[in-house]
A and B are shown apart, each in its own frame.
Chain A
Amino acid sequence: MIVAKDVSLTYQDGTQALKDVNLRIKAGEIIYITGPSGSGKTSLLKLILGMEYPTEGHLRVMGQSMVKDEEDNIRKLRRKIGPVFQEFKLIRGRTAFENIVLGMRFLDFTPKEIIENSYMALERVGLKHKRDSLVDKLSWGESQRVAIARAIARKPSLILADEPTGNLDLDNALNIMDILTSLRDENTTVIITTHATHLIEDKEEGTFIRIQEGRLKMERRGVEAYE
C-alpha cells in the first residue's frame, strides 16, 4: 500500500521536516501517528497525498511513484484517498451536505449513491441536523466532522486523517476515533495522526508510529511486525 525508502523532506526554506523515513504499510492496516507539534506528522501525510514530494528517497503509494513528473497520475490516485485535513479545507459558501457531495461528483458513483453516501456519512458523524447549514457557520468541531464525513463518504481505499479529533470534546473524539477505526477492513487502510495519545493508548491493534523531529519510531500491536 505504502512503501517509503529513505525518504526525507526538506521544505524550500531549508526546514527538514522528515529524515530517512522507512515505512511499509500493508493494505487494511490501521496506523496511528503521534508526536509533538512540529514533529512532521502533517508532512508525512502531505507526502502520501502528493502535496509535497520527497526531496530524497523513494515513496510509493498504492503502486504509484510519488514524483513531480507523475502529477497527473497522482491526481488520479487521490480519488482513492479520503483526506481529512488538519485545517479541514471545506468549501466555503456551501452547505455541509454540498461539501460532501462535491467530494464525490467526479468519482465513480451514480447520483443516487452520491446522495445516499452523503446522508449516511453525515448521520455517522452525528450531523444530520446540520445538513443544510453553510459550513462557514459551523463550529470548529462540527466543521471537523463534516470534513470526516466528506472523506468517508468517498469510500476510499486509504483514509488520511490529520488530527481528526483536534477540536472535539472527549465524547465526540472517542466517537470519531471509533468511526475511523471501524472503517478499516481488508480494503481500507486508515492513517490517523494525533497529539492525543490518551485516545489511542488502549488500542489493542494497529501500528503506532511516533515521530520525533522528523524521525520515525514504530511499534506494532496485534498484527505481525515486519521490519
Chain B
Amino acid sequence: MNKRAYNLAYFLKESKTLFKIDFLSNIFSIISIGLILFILSLVLLGWRVSSYVIQIVEREGEINVYYDLSLQEKDINYLMEDIEKIEGVSSTSLVSQDEAYNRMAEILGKEAGILELFDENPFTPFIEVKIHIEEVDSILDELESMLGIDYIRDNKNIIDRLQNILIILKVLGVLALVAIGVSTLIVVSHIIRQGIYNNRDQINTLELLGAPDIFIGFPFILEGVFLTLLGGVIAFILLKLVLGLGYSKFFTALPFLPLPAEESLLIPIGIFILLLSGLLGIIGSLFGLAKDNEKA
C-alpha cells in the first residue's frame, strides 16, 4: 500500500473520531452553516433571476408607438418611414387591432376568457419599433417631437427599475457573501479550536515525537471541510426544494414572466455553494489551527 493512502485512511479515521468527540456541536454547526449558506444561495438566486430578466427585456428592445387614430393608412406609412430613419431604430411593423387582441389572448393562455367580457376589441393598433436599446433615450426624444403620435410606451421604465433591483441584489449578494463567509469561518475555526483543545494531550505527544504540523493538523482540516461541505449539501437540498416549489407556483401564477430554466439556476448556484463551503472549511480550519500555534 502507498504511504499516502495508508496515512489518508488514518486521517479519515481521525477526523471521524474528532467528529464524534464533539458530536452535538458538530451537528449544530452543520445545520447553522447549512442555513446561512442557504440564505446566500437565495440572494444569488435573486441576483441571477433578475439579471436574466433584464437580459431578456433588453434584448427585446422595443417601443410601442400609438398613433393618432385619425391618421390615414398613407400617413401611417409615412410615419413608419420617418421612424425608421431615426438612428438606432432597426425596424418597424404595424400591429393591427386584431393582432394586438390575439397577442394578449396568447399571453393570458387559459385566462383568455376574460377578453370575452368585452363587447368589442378593447385594443388599439400600434407601431412596433425595434431598436438598439442603448439609444433608447435619443430615440424617445426624436419620437416625441414627431406629429401624429398619441402615446409612446417603452420598457425603459421597467429596465431601469430592474436594473435598480439588480444593483441592490448585487450589493446584498456581496454583503451576504462577506457576512456568511465570516460567520462560517468563525463557526468552523471555533469547532476546530474545540477539537484541538479536546485533543491537546495527543497533539502534544505527537509534537514530542516529531510529527510535522501538517500531519497533526490534517485531520482537523478534514473535519472542518466535512462540516462545511455537509452544510453546503443542506443548503443545496433546501435550494432545490425552494426552486421546485417556486417554479410550480410561478409558472401558473405568472405565465408571462420570463424565467431561466430551473437547472440553469440550481446547478451553477449549487456548485458555487459547494465549492465555497469546501473553501470556507479549509480556511476556517487553518484559522483554528493557526490560533493554536500562536498560543503554544
Contacts and interface: CB of A to CB of B under 8 A. Distances in A.
A106 B17 contact: no
**Across the A-B interface, the 10 shortest Cβ-Cβ residue pairs:** A78-B210, A79-B210, A111-B6, A89-B205, A106-B215, A106-B211, A111-B1, A91-B202, A103-B209, A105-B7
Contact of A91 (B1, B205, B215): B205
B215 A75 contact: no
B3 interface: yes
A83 B204 CA distance: 13
Interface in A62-96: 75-81, 83, 85, 89-93
B212 interface: yes
A112 B3 CA distance: 9
A105 B206 CA distance: 11
A114 B6 CA distance: 10
A125 interface: no
Interface in B165-217: 201-202, 204-212, 215
Nearest to A105: B7
A51 interface: yes
* Most B CB within 10 A of own CB, among A51, A81, A93, A102: A102
Contacts of A15: none
A181 B201 CA distance: 30
Nearest to A99: B205
A83 B208 contact: yes
Contacts of B1: 111-112
A78 B3 contact: no
A77 B210 contact: yes
Contact of A76 (B17, B201, B210): B210
B52 interface: no
Contact of B17 (A78, A80, A93, A105): A93
B10 interface: yes
16 contacts: A75-B211, A75-B212, A76-B210, A78-B209, A78-B210, A79-B210, A89-B204, A89-B208, A92-B201, A92-B202, A103-B209, A105-B6, A105-B10, A106-B212, A107-B210, A111-B1
Contacts of A85: 208
A7 interface: no
A93 B16 CA distance: 13
A110 interface: yes
A31 interface: no
Nearest to B10: A105
Interface string A3-16: 00000000000000
A102 to B, nearest CB: 8
A63 B96 CA distance: 97
A114 B7 CA distance: 11
A102 B206 CA distance: 8
A83 B209 contact: yes
Nearest to A46: B208
Contacts of B6: 105, 111, 114
